[in-house]
Amino acid sequence: MAVKIEVPLSSVQEALGGFLVLDHPARCSRCGAQRAEHYETHKLRLRIGANKPGLYRQTYKVSRVYYLRLRVCESCYKSDFAVYPEEFEKDDTALGSLARLHSRLYTTGTIIACAGLLFMTSLIPTDSVLGSIKPYWPFITAPGGLIILGVWLHQRSRQRRILESLEKAGIVPTQHPRAEVRTPVLDNEDDPAAIPLQIKMKDEEWAAECATRYNWKVEYDPKGEEQQ
């Protein structure tokens, strides 16, 4: 049976611009392993008071980023890198450093490739100061594309090695999935007990102990029982 932790607005507001760390109990929130020194990270956004729909996207009176962290073991942590490498960029670990390097190289390659493509267009006239560079746009675009391809290949290679090591250890990454997170939009911020964050996971005991520690509610699915 899945269980859902309901985190009140007051707790989320304390984490805005930083981290909401759920490190109790001190075992893996996914497989129950006793040695759990890593964290599963989710980049989230608190949204309050929807404005009238804009031309391009919905905007809100309050829209601020924060990060949710749930305690996990090393095996569950590594298995996430094979699917969600972008979620590791805030982690102070070897995989976190690698994720940040990949992100920076992706950005660098994209900027270089786009700059080269810009020279191919009519946005830069032939008789302009930069016009003499226009014929060489392929030599600008190509390095950017090679950087992107190289990073993509390295990332896939590292993910494949991680999956192979987990399989040799008899660990199936999909057996213990990440928590499912919902961030409902609130009408206003007048009620500190309003629920802007719901965390759904399979480990009922871990969720119940965590909620008790922080005095949050737990909702059991599918019966909808609640525990204070």
pLDDT of residue 94: 94
**Cα separation, 201 vs 2, whole angstroms:** 6
pLDDT of residue 57: 83
Average pLDDT over residues 8-29: 96
Range with the poorest average pLDDT among 9-13, 35-39, 130-134: 130-134
What's the burial of 24, exposed, middle or buried (CB within 10 Å: 0-12/13-18/19+)? middle
pLDDT of residue 222: 64
pLDDT of residue 141: 96
pTM of the model: 0.84
Question: How confident is the model over 75-88, as pLDDT tens digits?
Answer: 999 999 988 899 99
Q: What is the dihedral of CA 59, 90, 79, 22, to 10 degrees?
A: -80
Question: For residue 130, is pLDDT > 80?
Answer: yes
Res. 14 pLDDT band, cuts 50 70 90: very high
pLDDT of residue 111: 97
Question: How confident is the model over 142-164, as pLDDT tens digits?
Answer: 999 999 999 999 999 999 999 99
158, 70, 154, 143: which is closest to 110 by C-alpha?
A: 143
Question: For residue 63, is pLDDT > 80?
Answer: yes
**Cα separation, 170 vs 10, whole angstroms:** 42
Res. 173 pLDDT band, cuts 50 70 90: confident
Question: For residue 55, is pLDDT > 80?
Answer: no
The two structure tokens encoding residue 152: 């993509």
Average pLDDT over residues 63-83: 94
